[in-house]
Chains A and B, each alone.
Chain A
């Protein structure tokens, strides 16, 4: 099982993917895969592999136009990462409450 959130975490856990994503965010427009590959001094295959992982996490959208494929970044899913912190705040509060109850009952 790989849910949406773990896909995002996986996508941004790799420094190269973060750089590609960052570059796409900065240009704010769609870039052809060939150009990304050139900029990152990577093969088209290599960069496509990273872009697929980003696309899978919905951080990048890939569109075909003629023979070229264009990529555009989408930062929205990152909001969920921020929720991670909030999630853990609640998670540990709940867990410590459970611990307190358990100690009182046992």
Chain B
């Protein structure tokens, strides 16, 4: 079972503009989530999803914040499982390439549980909507 999610995106904007959007709290609030974020190593931030999106709270610590790498831990409320979100920017000729990695996700299960549900592979009615509703960030 894979442990991380990786995404890449290319923006036709300068690397500093993209860096500002992902590392400045006021900017983060405009496209991502309410926050008290500061891009300072060791800073403990809180992200808060709006009420209609479940009031979910995410906390974590900034591990690295040097242009153009931003790393913070990501702990969803009421769980003590730490995952890590890493943003890395790469300057292109006419824009910026963003690499995003969210790792440690299988920490949620632990090995035993992973094996467990790999072997229980069928027939479950489940609801991604519900999950999305509850977790929607």
Q: List the interface of chain A (C-beta within 8 A of B).
A: 1-7, 9-10, 12-13, 15, 18-19, 21-22, 25, 75-76, 78-93, 95-96, 98-104, 106
Closest residue on chain B to residue A1 by CB atoms = B55
With A81-B108, A98-B31 known to touch, is A9 a contact of B126 (CB < 8 Å)?
no
With A9-B76, A81-B108 known to touch, is A18 a contact of B113 (CB < 8 Å)?
yes
Q: List the interface of chain B (C-beta within 8 A of A).
A: 2, 5, 7, 9, 11, 13, 17-18, 21-22, 27, 30-32, 54-55, 76-81, 98, 100, 102, 105, 108-110, 112-113, 116-117, 120, 124, 126, 128, 130-132, 134-135, 137
Q: In the assembled complex, which residues on chain A have CB atoms less than 8 Å from the CB atom of B105? A: 84-85, 88
**Taking the nearest CB of chain A, how far is it from the CB of B95, in angstroms?**
10
- Give the secondary structure class of A's interface: helix
Closest residue on chain B to residue A84 by CB atoms = B108
Is the Cβ of B108 less than 8 Å from the Cβ of A5?
no
The total number of A-B Cβ pairs within 8 Å is 120
Tell me the bound Cα distance from A82 to B108 in angstroms.
10
**Taking the nearest CB of chain B, how far is it from the CB of A94, in angstroms?**
9
Is the Cβ of A83 less than 8 Å from the Cβ of B128?
yes
Tell me the bound Cα distance from A92 to B85 in angstroms.
11
Is the Cβ of B76 less than 8 Å from the Cβ of A25?
no
Q: Which 8 pairs across A and B sit closest by C-beta, in order of nearness?
A: A102-B31, A78-B117, A6-B78, A79-B124, A9-B79, A3-B134, A98-B31, A75-B120
